[in-house]
């Protein structure tokens, strides 16, 4: 009989409340944890893959008790993961492994618990990191499975107390209703195919079935699907996306993904000719505010360079007050100086990628952002020279260069 491994962690993309970094936890599960457990001879399951009737709590407790092994990833300080880890420790004296990404800051005094660390670059897991930690985790699973040593702090304190063993017959079979996992995977597949109207229909079904307690990730992806679909028209699609995001209180939120989507929707609204000038100006103000907040949360080049562009856009085409226009120009310049510093730091380190090609392309976007920052600061000769070098990179597709050149042309019209 195949041994069972139950994985305790967040699903999809989650924001770390301490660092504001957005991490794709599905990449950790699919790229590291699940293949490592399977290589060690375990059948691996995560809570969102459980098929169940009614509430998830009953089968979840059953898995926490009966699993031959539990792996808990505490990255992003997911409260459910901490709770479920505590339940496992209370039920089983051994065969529990705790992992977390390098940026994880433990909120509890639990230094006596061993937490294995791995490097996570947000929405990307570097392929070398995946291969290295997956192999390390496989060996660790084998060692923990063979060991006869308590890892639960509860049982270490209680001593020779028997494991809790509930009557398995009292637990309902987890059969009738499909879990959300396959629907979310379907939505991701539709997104990758550019079928955003179909993607929004799948996510809307999940949203309705989850009731009032909707996963923020579902709302974020639903908003993305709406505005990308442009259905039935651009304005209507963007307004629907706004309505979805409103449930996440984006103007008070510290979730970088929510803020980023809020800014993206309003940036697009500001560009619609069907809105009057006052509506477009208000939308642009909201977009700039969102990008600014995202920049100060993440200290990232993406939000910084986009905020700088929109500030120049407002100064050039929307501001009637000359003093406000000058202020926007100064702020845009300061942002570009900071973006240059951020990109230089990133380029001095190894850029992460899920393959060697992906690593090269990720590096391209960092350098292309530096090109735009230099151009906006008046360093046109240096920007042109760097862009020329980028054109010669292996793995860089023509549309990437075209995107950069088009953006520089738009910026040039504003300066």
How far is Cα 191 from Cα 229, in angstroms, rounded to an integer? Answer: 10
Place of tokens 């910026």: 411
Place of tokens 């995560």: 46
How far is Cα 240 from Cα 56, in angstroms, rounded to an integer? Answer: 30
Closest among 249, 256, 319 to 291, alpha carbons compared: 256
**CATH number of the domain that residue 76 is part of:** 3.40.50.450
Tell me: do 226 and 150 sit in the same domain: no
Q: Does residue 15 contact residue 21 with C-beta atoms inside 8 Å? A: yes
Rounded-to-5 percentages of helix, strand, coil across the chain: 60, 10, 30
In a domain, 252, yes or no: yes
pLDDT score for 411:
96
- Residue at which a domain ends, from 298, 331, 358: 298
Place of tokens 């993607």: 199
Beta bridge partners of 100: 117
pLDDT score for 332:
97
DSSP string, 186-202: HHHHHHHTT-HHHHHHH
CA distance to 64, 250, 330, per residue, from 287 (Å): 44, 11, 18
Q: Is 138 left (phi over 0), alpha (psi -120 to 50) or beta?
A: alpha
In a domain, 20, yes or no: yes
pLDDT score for 106:
80
Q: Does residue 410 contact residue 366 with C-beta atoms inside 8 Å? A: no
Q: Does residue 352 contact residue 121 with C-beta atoms inside 8 Å? A: yes
Tell me: do 31 and 61 sit in the same domain: yes
Place of tokens 């991701």: 188
Tell me: do 160 and 89 sit in the same domain: yes
Say what the pTM is. 0.75
- Residue at which a domain ends, from 278, 298, 318: 298
In a domain, 111, yes or no: yes
pLDDT score for 54:
44
Tokens of 75: 């990255």
Total domain count, the chain = 3
Q: Does residue 74 contact residue 100 with C-beta atoms inside 8 Å? A: yes
DSSP 116: E
Q: Which residue pairs, CB below 8 angstroms and at least 24 apart, start in 160-164?
A: 163/91, 163/92, 163/93, 164/65, 164/90, 164/91, 164/92
Domain hosting 393: range is 300-415
Q: Does residue 92 contact residue 158 with C-beta atoms inside 8 Å? A: no
266 Cβ contact partners less than 8 Å away, ≥ 6 residues apart: 242, 283, 284, 286, 287, 290
Query: What is the mean pLDDT, run by run of 10 residues, along the chain of 415 residues?
Result: 89 86 92 95 85 55 87 91 90 91 81 86 87 94 90 77 52 40 87 92 89 89 94 94 96 91 94 92 96 93 95 87 93 98 94 90 96 97 95 90 94 94
How far is Cα 9 from Cα 29, in angstroms, rounded to an integer? Answer: 9
How far is Cα 255 from Cα 237, in angstroms, rounded to an integer? Answer: 22
pLDDT score for 311:
96
pLDDT score for 409:
96
In a domain, 182, yes or no: no
Tell me: do 260 and 293 sit in the same domain: yes
Tell me: do 304 and 413 sit in the same domain: yes
Tell me: do 157 and 145 sit in the same domain: yes
Beta bridge partners of 4: 43
pLDDT score for 165:
58
In a domain, 100, yes or no: yes
Beta-strand pair 3-8/42-46: parallel
Q: Number of helices and strands (H, E) in the chain?
A: 17, 7
pLDDT score for 30:
92
* Count of alpha carbons within 13 angstroms of residue 377, beta-carbon side: 21
Place of tokens 């590291």: 32
66 upstream amide cis, omega within 30 of 0: no
DSSP 341: H
pLDDT score for 153:
84
Tell me: do 141 and 257 sit in the same domain: no
Max Cα–Cα distance, the chain, nearest Å: 77
How far is Cα 370 from Cα 340, in angstroms, rounded to an integer? Answer: 6
Burial pattern 300-315, b for ≥16 Cβ within 10 A else e, equals bbbbbbbbbbbbbbbb
CA 105 to chain centre: 18
DSSP helix/strand/coil, 99: strand
Tokens of 357: 């090609």
Tell me: do 72 and 200 sit in the same domain: no
211 Cβ contact partners less than 8 Å away, ≥ 6 residues apart: none
Tell me: do 286 and 304 sit in the same domain: no
In a domain, 231, yes or no: yes
Tell me: do 157 and 8 sit in the same domain: yes
């Amino acid at each position: 009989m195949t041994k069972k491994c139950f994985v305790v962690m967040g699903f999809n993309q989650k924001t770390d409340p301490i660092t504001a970094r957005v991490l794709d936890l599905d990449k950790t599960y699919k790229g590291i944890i699940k293949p490592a457990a399977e290589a060690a001879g375990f059948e691996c399951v995560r809570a969102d893959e459980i098929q169940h009737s009614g509430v998830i709590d009953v089968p979840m407790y059953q898995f926490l008790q009966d699993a031959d092994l539990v792996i808990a990833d505490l990255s992003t300080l997911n409260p459910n993961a901490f709770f479920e880890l505590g339940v496992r420790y209370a039920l089983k004296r051994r065969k529990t492994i705790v992992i977390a990404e390098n940026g994880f800051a433990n909120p509890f005094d639990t230094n006596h618990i061993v937490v294995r660390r791995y490097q996570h670059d947000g929405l990307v897991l570097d392929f070398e990191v995946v291969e290295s930690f997956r192999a390390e985790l496989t060996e660790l699973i084998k060692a923990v499975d063979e060991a006869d040593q308590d890892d639960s702090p509860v049982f270490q304190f209680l001593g020779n107390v028997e494991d809790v063993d509930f009557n398995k017959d009292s637990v309902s079979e987890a059969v009738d209703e499909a879990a959300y996992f396959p629907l979310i995977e379907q939505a991701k597949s539709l997104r990758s195919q550019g079928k955003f109207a179909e993607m929004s229909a799948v996510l809307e079904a999940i949203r309705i079935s989850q009731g009032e307690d909707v996963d923020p990730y579902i709302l974020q992806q639903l908003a993305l699907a709406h505005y990308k679909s442009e259905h039935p028209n651009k304005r209507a699609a963007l307004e629907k996306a706004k309505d979805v995001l409103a449930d996440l209180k984006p103007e008070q939120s510290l979730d970088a993904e929510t803020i980023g989507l809020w800014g993206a929707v309003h940036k697009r609204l500001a560009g619609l000719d069907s809105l009057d000038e006052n509506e477009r100006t208000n939308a642009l103000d909201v977009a700039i505010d969102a990008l600014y907040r995202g920049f100060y949360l993440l200290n990232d080049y993406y939000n910084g360079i986009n905020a700088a562009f929109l500030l120049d856009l407002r100064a050039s085409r929307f501001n009637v007050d000359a003093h406000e226009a000058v202020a926007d120009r100064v702020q845009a310049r300061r942002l570009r100086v900071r973006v240059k510093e951020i990109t230089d730091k990133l380029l001095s380190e190894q850029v992460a990628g899920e393959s060697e090609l992906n690593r090269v392309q990720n590096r391209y976007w960092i350098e292309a952002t530096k090109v735009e920052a230099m151009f906006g600061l008046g360093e046109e000769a240096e920007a042109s020279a760097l862009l020329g070098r980028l054109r010669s990179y292996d793995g860089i597709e023509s549309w990437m260069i075209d995107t950069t050149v088009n953006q520089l042309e738009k910026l040039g019209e504003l300066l």
